[in-house]
Amino acid sequence: MSHDDSMSGLDFRDFLTIGGFVVTCLLIGLGAGWWADARLGTTPVLTLLGLAVGVAGGIVGTWFRIRPLLSEDVSRSGPADGSPTPPPRHDHREGPR
């Protein structure tokens, strides 16, 4: 089976990029919360808040990365209700002779 290079979608490199982004968001949020807790003595409140912000950042970043691919799949597959896609309309009129 051959790989079609014209097909758009996520490949292995994209998954690594998304995974790296999520891990980075989590570590930054957790690290910032831990650092703020150490400075302010509010353990574990800001650490948990930083973790939540990191999780949210990872989710939002992942959504923005895959959203264009999802909309391409929907537009290629036709309407969501399963009805056939109408053929494109063409203007078959010719100009003046």
- Listed by start position, the domains of the chain span 26-74
51, 35 contact by CB (below 8 A): no
Specify the pLDDT at position 11.
86
62-94 confidence digits (pLDDT tens): 999 998 888 776 566 555 566 666 666 666 566
Which residue, among 59, 51, 19, has the nearest Cα to 43 in the 3D structure?
51
Q: Which residues contact 85 (CB under 8 A, 6 or more apart)?
A: 78, 79
- Whether the predicted pLDDT of 53 surpasses 50: yes
Q: Which residues contact 42 (CB under 8 A, 6 or more apart)?
A: 36
**CA within 13 Å, CB half, 96:** 0
Q: Which residue has the tokens 């939540």?
A: 52
- Specify the amino acid at residue 5: D
Structure pTM?
A: 0.65
